[in-house]
Structure 1
Amino acid sequence: MRAVPTRVYFVVLWLLLAAAAIRTEAAAGDVVLVVANARHPWSTRVAEQYLAARGLPASQLLTIDVSPDATVTHEVYQQAIERPVMVWLRTHDALDRTHIIVLGPGLPLRIAGTPGRNGTAGSVDSELAVLYRRLTGASVAAGGFVENPYFSPVPLVTPRPFDRAKYDVYLVTRLDGRTETDALALIARGAVRPSKFVLAIDGRPAGASGPEARWLTEVGPRVHAVQPDARILSDASSDLLGNIDGVTGYASWGSNDSRTRVPPVTFGSGAIASSFMSSDARTMAQPPAAWTPGLWSEPSSYFAGSPEALAADWLAAGLTGLAAQVTEPYLDGTVRPATLHEAWARGYTLAESFYLAMPYLSWQGVVFGDPLARAVETGPEGHEVLTDPAAGQGAFTDRMAAVYRRGEPDLDQEASRLMARANLSIARGDLADARRLLEELTVRAPRYTRAQFLLAQQYEADKFYAQARARYELVLQTQPANVVALNNLAYNLGVHGGEPKAALVHAERAAVLAGNSAAVLDTLGWLRHLAGDSRGAVVPLQRAVELAPDLCDAWSHLALAQRSAGDEPAATKADARASSCTKDVKEP
């Protein structure tokens, strides 16, 4: 049996002792979702250690399956990361009660895309932060950034604990490191609070600075207003601020000034940091031992596409929390150090502190650290934070309902809430509840065709075909060119209602409106065959399988029509394709 390294043993022991000593946030298990990657060798172990350290239930762990590459495409992000998180939130009735998403080791950092202020590249973490808003149906642009509703550039004189009723985003942080030991140490450090506040603020000369010079000078006064005994060491010269022990707060331009891999200070308990670097979270990979950060004008100094220092090195130097970027955020997109350190000194959680200081979401930022860590025992002005998952319950339904009401004069507040609740029931798989809500809604708002259509689909799923036909007919009274309603009504009437000739009227119209839709052509061809016109059925059915070779039913329908039309060789070939077909293309 391979011996356990001594260092790993002590880190795990530290975690267990810390878990017993710290006061876990009340009901934190209801507000935190932890995500691990099944393809990473120690992602799940680290996630489970975090659950144990914070006393969170195992039910709050979601394990997904995604390549542990640093960068993924939008398609991989949506299918392998965003979708399983979305499904978990819906099926666990956790859309509102979840405030925080914690990403374990091995989760991709960056989503590939176009560069620039309106580009589509961004961090996985920051994109997940706006998932709540997307799920309500609110518009979120594919390119550029989204203004963070929780951001505060000004002093936090009024308490602003994260409140689901006010903020339609998630706070996303990451527990990671180059090794399992590093990731476990990051968790352990989240359980230890600083005994004093020592801040190192390393600026630049006025001639080499922009608005960030003011942002850095604001740190001292705002922290002193909360912690009068805090020691603030600031420098605005070209010299490097260093040789300081026990630093609990650090802000600088990072390797843009120093060409060093880590700040030349020693971090103490509860230390958090940020910089104005633009790509320090680009990778967690280990560079060559001799590598040092350089300049953008020196390609020979690049590692993983950038000459800047690496977040993984800063974390390994002993930080509890760190704000970093996967690619260029532009200066206005960086974390505001004064808000960050004031919030931390006031007792906000690590997640709250960093997100209060982060101006943009759906952008480039990554926050490393235990989201529930705190620098002081109580919340701001004694206000406990993240302790009441029941607060704000129903906010998601209200927000989704508001989206449904836009442009719908026939939809009042209660009707829109019924629609939102019905959609949530469908997402959870509770179709009986969805049908009940939709029936109530269509009585209250009979002209709301979206609900009539959804109810028709629910009736079809329950094999209540006559009721489904009646609802499709109501939809067509208001939207006579609704292709999906025409197609579904035609198939229902012809196949389940036994009236293929009457159904052809709807199928023919759908085919004219839809053009080259394989599903619509399949319905038209099949109804022609059922009505006795097998020769006339062959043409649309052949076109359907040309457009969608994996539309299995269309191959079966084509074989039957060809056989009835007397073309046995063609029917035999279509039968063979139907037998080997494994999936259906679902399209209108």
Structure 2
Amino acid sequence: MRFPAYLLLILFWCQSLATAQSAIQKESIIILYNSDDAQSKELAEYYANKREIPLTQLVGLPLPKKRHITRDEYNTLIKEPLVKLFDQKSWWQTGKTKDGLTIAVRNKIRLIVSVRGVPFGVKQNSVPLEGDNQAKLKISNRASVDSELAALGIIDAPINGPLVNKYYKSTERFANTRLPFTMLTGRIDGPTFEIAKQLIDDAIDTEKTGLWGMCYLDFAHKGASYKVGDDWIENIEKENWKHGIPTTVDHNKQTYLTNYPMRDVALYYGWYISSVNGTFLDPNFRLKKGSIAIHIHSYSASDIHNAGHHWVGPLLKKGAAATVGNVYEPYLSLTHNLDILHDRLLKGFTLVEAAAAAMPALSWQGLVVGDPLYRPYLHLDGSGEVRDEDKVYRAINLAWSKWANDPDKLITKLRSAAAKTKDARLYEVCGLWYIYMDNMQAAAAFFNSAEKSYLSPRDEIRITLHLADMYRKIGKKADALKLLRETLESNKDEPAAESLRSLITILDPPPPPPAEPRKK
């Protein structure tokens, strides 16, 4: 059926209008920087120019060059000056609630972007944290600066305990909600000024093509109290395969092994260990440009300027364009729900909207680092600029969009493409799909085909780890050890061989040292 040209024009205009109406308007954004830090101002201006935000929307405050500040410092140096500025510029109108709280009832500002130089933590004030977790929750007033700013419109809110985030779990774009007392908050920051600046460039560049590549997930499997986090990881896995995002999963209690040879990493969601480990210890490893990388742990963002400790700083150093974390202990139920965050990103939300929809609480511990306006999945429909390094993942996505309801045809098409192009990644993806479908025999066949086609030792080692993990699941530990040792023998000098040694030690631990004779 052919449509008249004027109908197509109207349809295009309506789609453009809908997109514009749901976008965060540039005039509704302010960029907060430290006026006593020249690089902070430079970064704020750079971001404003890159995103075409009026320079009149920059707000400089004289702030200490500290990462964590006291509650009094937050109030006098950040909160009170901003409240005064919002009043002076008529950015908001305030009113009283039935409970007597002063809140914003109209608000022109929808997003506050803090840049490197603005402190990110507010320390506990006076009341000592004592008692069980529930008791501590009620009296805790330490928080991230960003989360406090999100609640700036609740002007005289109590400081102890978290506030409810009314945007939590929302499926609406933030511009379409009626939440004048809540603002989105994001942060452009990192271990160095250069890394922080790169977050902007990588986000804007990736939006031209879309984010394509592998997803790596890491379950905790540490007991009932951790189940909710593992449920988030499981939901992400299910959602990925619906969209043809190939996914490798670590189901073991250990995190990914030291120097595990990940490849083409666009997404990483994992937990649960206090400081960076596994693949991220490999000095030669880099995440893909535009990647989203998140590891759940208390204090993961307690020092985002440290590139070697906790998680947020190290992930940014490895090339992540976006991550989230906690400046203090948030408790699992009050941290970012990763499955919601991931779902909103896939739906085309901005990073800051996705993070806000995933966060149950305000005036609490969480923050999001990266270009807040970044939309990594603008082109999940296959549109956008096509780059050579993305072609295989675009093809996988296209195959899923066409034949997801006919798995046999889907796999036949991918197998044919692998044979034609000699791209071993297609064999590997088929193997990962069959693991997800719990067909270990078919998975092993595809992994063996991948191993024969790959030329890099890193890839051979990864396939061995896939197969060894399968053997572990079906109780064939001896077969797993035999394969691991054979691969190690031919790849001893490879950095990724450390992952083979680690797994061998886990499966066949050395005997304990002999006990020393008791002294008489």
Instruction: Tell me the TM-score normalized by structure 2.
Output: 0.59
SS in 2 for 1:141: coil
Cα deviation, 1:504-559, whole Å, max 9, x if unaligned, reads xxxxxxxxxxxxxxxxxxxxxxxxxxxxxxxxxxxxxxxxxxxxxxxxxxxxxxxx
Give the alignment of 1:325-364 within 5 angstroms. 325-364=326-365
Cα deviation, 1:332-364, whole Å, max 9, x if unaligned, reads 111111111111111000110111111111000
Structure 2 distance, partners of 1:214, 1:275, is 15
Q: Percent identity?
A: 24
Paired residues, number: 329
Does structure 1 conserve the Cα–Cα contact (< 8 Å) formed by 2:255 and 2:271?
A: no
Q: Match of 2:42, as an amino acid?
A: R
Q: Match of 1:177, as an amino acid?
A: G
Q: Does 1:268 align with 2:285?
A: no
Does structure 2 conserve the Cα–Cα contact (< 8 Å) formed by 1:223 and 1:342?
A: no
Query: Which residue of structure 2 aligns with residue 528 of structure 1?
Result: none
Measured after TM superposition, the shift of residue 130 of structure 1 is 0.4
Cα pair distance change 1:283/1:239, threshold 3 Å = closer
Query: Which residue of structure 1 aligns with residue 301 of structure 2?
Result: 281
Cα pair distance change 1:224/1:86, threshold 3 Å = farther
Give the alignment of 1:327-476 within 5 angstroms. 327-377=328-378
Structure 2 distance, partners of 1:104, 1:48, is 10
Give the alignment of 1:149-228 within 5 angstroms. 149-152=166-169, 159-166=172-179, 168-191=181-204, 192-193=206-207, 194-205=210-221, 207=223, 209-225=226-242, 228=243
Query: Which residue of structure 2 aligns with residue 256 of structure 1?
Result: 274
1:243 to 252, 257, 261: 261
Cα pair distance change 1:213/1:63, threshold 3 Å = same
SS in 2 for 1:186: helix
Cα pair distance change 1:147/1:196, threshold 3 Å = same
SS in 2 for 1:351: helix
Cα pair distance change 1:74/1:120, threshold 3 Å = same
Measured after TM superposition, the shift of residue 205 of structure 1 is 2.7
Q: Does 1:51 align with 2:70?
A: no
Cα deviation, 1:439-485, whole Å, max 9, x if unaligned, reads xxxxxxxxxxxxxxxxxxxxxxxxxxxxxxxxxxxxxxxxxxxxxxx
Rg (Cα) greater in structure? 1
Q: Match of 1:175, as an amino acid?
A: I
Structure 1 distance, partners of 2:122, 2:321, is 25
The gaps in structure 2 that reach 5 residues or longer are 1-19, 93-106, 130-135, 382-520
Cα pair distance change 1:206/1:120, threshold 3 Å = closer
Cα pair distance change 1:266/1:239, threshold 3 Å = farther
SS in 1 for 2:84: helix
1:33 to 30, 33, 53: 30
Cα deviation, 1:138-174, whole Å, max 9, x if unaligned, reads x62220101211111xxx7x54444342463111111
Cα deviation, 1:268-321, whole Å, max 9, x if unaligned, reads 23212322211122224447xxxx65xxxxxxxxxxxxxxx1422211211111
Measured after TM superposition, the shift of residue 263 of structure 1 is 7.0
2:86 to 76, 82, 89: 89
Query: Which residue of structure 2 aligns with residue 406 of structure 1?
Result: none
Measured after TM superposition, the shift of residue 72 of structure 1 is 1.0
Structure 1 distance, partners of 2:280, 2:120, is 20
Does structure 2 conserve the Cα–Cα contact (< 8 Å) formed by 1:126 and 1:365?
A: yes
Measured after TM superposition, the shift of residue 49 of structure 1 is 0.2
Does structure 1 conserve the Cα–Cα contact (< 8 Å) formed by 2:24 and 2:175?
A: no
Cα pair distance change 1:328/1:28, threshold 3 Å = same
Measured after TM superposition, the shift of residue 262 of structure 1 is 3.7
1:124 to 133, 145, 148: 145
Structure 2 distance, partners of 1:262, 1:255, is 13
Query: Which residue of structure 2 aligns with residue 519 of structure 1?
Result: none
Q: Match of 1:129, as an amino acid?
A: A
Q: Match of 1:271, as an amino acid?
A: S
SS in 2 for 1:251: strand
Q: Does 1:102 align with 2:113?
A: yes
Cα pair distance change 1:256/1:178, threshold 3 Å = closer
Does structure 1 conserve the Cα–Cα contact (< 8 Å) formed by 2:211 and 2:291?
A: no
Measured after TM superposition, the shift of residue 44 of structure 1 is 0.2
Structure 2 distance, partners of 1:276, 1:160, is 25
Q: Does 1:142 align with 2:159?
A: yes
Query: Which residue of structure 1 aligns with residue 315 of structure 2?
Result: 314
Does structure 1 conserve the Cα–Cα contact (< 8 Å) formed by 2:270 and 2:296?
A: yes
Structure 1 distance, partners of 2:379, 2:249, is 28
Q: Match of 2:84, as an amino acid?
A: V
SS in 1 for 2:53: coil
Q: Does 1:234 align with 2:234?
A: no
Give the alignment of 1:477-492 within 5 angstroms. none
Instruction: Tell me the TM-score normalized by structure 1.
Output: 0.52
Query: Which residue of structure 2 aligns with residue 61 of structure 1?
Result: 58
Does structure 2 conserve the Cα–Cα contact (< 8 Å) formed by 1:223 and 1:341?
A: no
Structure 2 distance, partners of 1:151, 1:328, is 20
Cα deviation, 1:229-277, whole Å, max 9, x if unaligned, reads 2112222213433422222221111543864694766422321232221
Query: Which residue of structure 2 aligns with residue 3 of structure 1?
Result: none
Does structure 2 conserve the Cα–Cα contact (< 8 Å) formed by 1:274 and 1:323?
A: yes
The gaps in structure 1 that reach 5 residues or longer are 1-22, 294-308, 381-588
SS in 1 for 2:274: helix
Kindly report the root-mean-square deviation, in angstroms, between the aligned alpha carbons of the 2 structures: 2.8
